[in-house]
Amino acid sequence: MTAGLDNLKHIVVLMMENRSFDHMLGGLSLVTDNGAKKYPKINGLTGNESNPDTAGKVIKVQPNAKFQSQLDPDPDHHFPGVDLQIFGGAPPGPGRIPTMQGFVKDYFTQTKDMNRSHNIMSYFTPDKLPVLSTLATEFAVFNGWFSSIPGPTICNRAFAHYGTSFGQVGMDVFYVLDPIPSIYERMIQAGHTAKIYYYDQQSSTMEIVNLLKNQPEIFASYSQFIADCEVGTLPEYSFIEPCYNDHPGPGGGEILASDQHPDHNVQEGEKFIARVYNAIRTNPILWESTLLLIVYDEHGGIYDHVPPPICTPDGYSAKPSDTETGEAFNFDRLGVRVPAVLVSPYIPMGTVVPGTENVANGRVFEHACIPATVTNFFLKGDAKRTVREKKADAFLDFLSDQKRPDADVPYFKLGGK
Amino acid sequence: MATPSKVVHVPDPEPGAYNPNRLAGKLLQSQALHLREALIKHMTELAAVISVDPRSLKTEGDFGNYAKKATAILHTHAAVSSGR
């Protein structure tokens, strides 16, 4: 066991919304230093990745992503749309190859505008995202963290809480009928502590109805998270939700959505990530005993070049009428790749976790890895869970023996231009 | 915390980014449906407690059962309104 693991007392997960890896972090691969790639291990963009548009024109990735007003209407990320994005329109059936060639075509079905459909190939240069880019290069970034399902928010978030979506691939209200307890139930029943922190009551929670309905005691607000960080009362496991809508604040102020879901402002999301990081970072005891994972629930319909791999099924099947592709889905393939960054003072600077690009040593992560890691660490694996979760990789082995000095790790100063 | 040497500046969004009049997308519409489903359970609980005529309670056990249900509902509301 390393010193980092010995000191670990808290795992915190911040789950953002609807951005792909290449869109947010792919530009890191194009950064050079004295003519050489500065981050050669990151599996980002070469600049030559492309998709055909509906006229057959080749549209390359473009470093022109905007903070807001570019991906409106909201790109399709429901099951049939993502199927088109991944398989390029090849009809369902055995032997299909995930070419990642259908993103522009799919966005055209919404925009009905050729030029606007090209926006789906946009990506941010690292200077535009100082928080996520800094954390990715200062700590650990995953080349192969995928959403759990090629589909939308609710079912993907369910994997982060239960290690399964109980056969769901959409956004419908559903009830948990099988005896797979949530990670919060598992922790609390075993005498441990766990919480979901939603931003505020106007933003509320995006987690599945079962949790909110039956377990109100596991919920608290973001302001409580900040207070818990300050006084050292953070639970052993925390899941943080950003703000999901623009709304007036107390006393008439303006509160912006910070989830980064298109078309919400990406810079506000950067500030939110920075605040969560700073809250942990500024309490020295918490800082050295906490592992922070920043991850996105799904890609939001935005281009990524890495084909999602096959995976261990979770024992459920979605009917053709639910997938809307004419074919059942057996939860045997992951969704599109998303940004995932792991933060701790015990993580060596510049850690890159290899993914599917590394045939020999690559590792595949998805949201079922979250309850798997928490269960393995706090509960020694003792819980009823799906085969999918049991086989999911854990993300604890990146904690080293060496704690980095405070002056060596970043601090974010918020505000201004 | 020691003075950090790596201070990263995080800019504010442009003025005008705030737009509470933006049309809500499918995600927020789904969220409202989920919240409504969650509320139905509380309505059912509330209706069950309200429908009991306190004068019909005879034993201490009856009163204890009634008080437990009422207190659980009131406590949840109190916890939310006090920001807990």
What are A37-56's pLDDT values in tens digits? 999 999 999 999 999 999 99
B15 is a domain residue: no
Residue B79: the pLDDT is: 52
Burial, A321: exposed, middle or buried (Cβ in 10 Å; 0-12, 13-18, 19+)? exposed
Q: Find chain A residues with C-beta within 8 A of B3's C-beta.
A: 406-407
Select the residue of B1, B4, B28 nearest A284 (Cβ to Cβ).
B1
A175 or B55, which is more confident? B55
Residue B3: the pLDDT is: 61
Is A316 in contact with A388 (CB distance < 8 Å)? no
Determine the structural domain holding residue B80 and report its residue range: 57-84
Residue A20: the pLDDT is: 98
Select the residue of B8, B18, B19 nearest A412 (Cβ to Cβ).
B8
A415 touching chain B per CB within 8 A: yes
Subunit contact B2:A248, Cβ cutoff 8 A: no
B4 is a domain residue: no
Listed by number, the residues of chain A in 353-392 with a beta carbon closer than 8 Å to a beta carbon of chain B are: none
* Distance, CA of A380 to CA of A375 (rounded, Å): 6
Q: Find chain B residues with C-beta within 8 A of A417's C-beta.
A: 11-12
Is A353 in contact with A140 (CB distance < 8 Å)? yes
Strand partners, A290: A10
Residue B71: the pLDDT is: 84
B22 touching chain A per CB within 8 A: yes
B38 touching chain A per CB within 8 A: yes
Reply yes or no on whether the pLDDT at B82 is more than 50. Answer: no
Output b/e per residue, A86-95; b: 16+ Cβ within 10 A. Answer: bbbebeeeee
DSSP state of A319: -
Output b/e per residue, A203-217; b: 16+ Cβ within 10 A. Answer: bbbbbbbbbbbebee
Query: Closest Cα of chain A to B71: distance in Å?
Result: 15
Residue B77: the pLDDT is: 56
Structurally, how many domains does chain B consist of? 1
B8 is a domain residue: no
Residue B67: the pLDDT is: 86
* Distance, CA of A267 to CA of A121 (rounded, Å): 19
A284 touching chain B per CB within 8 A: yes
Subunit contact A213:B25, Cβ cutoff 8 A: no
Subunit contact B10:A131, Cβ cutoff 8 A: yes
Burial, A96: exposed, middle or buried (Cβ in 10 Å; 0-12, 13-18, 19+)? middle
Asked whether the CA dihedral A33, A34, A40, A44 is positive or negative, the reply is positive
Listed by number, the residues of chain B in 52-81 with a beta carbon closer than 8 Å to a beta carbon of chain A are: 76, 79-80
Subunit contact B80:A261, Cβ cutoff 8 A: no
What's domain A3-22+126-408's architecture? 3-Layer(aba) Sandwich (3.40)
Query: Closest Cα of chain A to B53: distance in Å?
Result: 26
Compare all CA atoms of chain B with the CA of A72 and give the residue at the minimum distance: B25
B67 is a domain residue: yes
Query: Closest Cα of chain A to B43: distance in Å?
Result: 11
- Which residue of A157, A266, A273, A406 to mutate against B (max B Cβ within 10 Å)? A406
Domain ranges of chain A: 3-22+126-408
Residue A155: the pLDDT is: 94
A128 touching chain B per CB within 8 A: no
ipTM: 0.88
Alpha helical stretches, state H, A191-341: 209-214, 222-231, 266-281, 284-287, 320-323
B43 touching chain A per CB within 8 A: no
Residue A153: left (phi > 0), alpha (psi -120 to 50), or beta?
alpha
For chain A, which residues score pLDDT lower than 50? none
Reply yes or no on whether the pLDDT at B81 is more than 50. Answer: no
Is A45 in contact with A326 (CB distance < 8 Å)? no
Name the residue among A137, A138, A105, A103 with its Cα closest to residue A122: A103
Strand pairing class (A140-142; A340-343): antiparallel
B81 is a domain residue: yes
Residue A243: the pLDDT is: 96
Subunit contact B17:A209, Cβ cutoff 8 A: no
B64 is a domain residue: yes
Give the HSE-up count for residue A65: Cα atoms under 13 Å, Cβ half-sphere.
29
Name the residue among A388, A383, A321, A336 with its Cα closest to residue A166: A388
Residue B74: the pLDDT is: 78
Strand partners, A248: A254
Subunit contact A256:B13, Cβ cutoff 8 A: yes
Strand partners, A175: none
A271 or B39, which is more confident? A271
Residue A130: the pLDDT is: 98
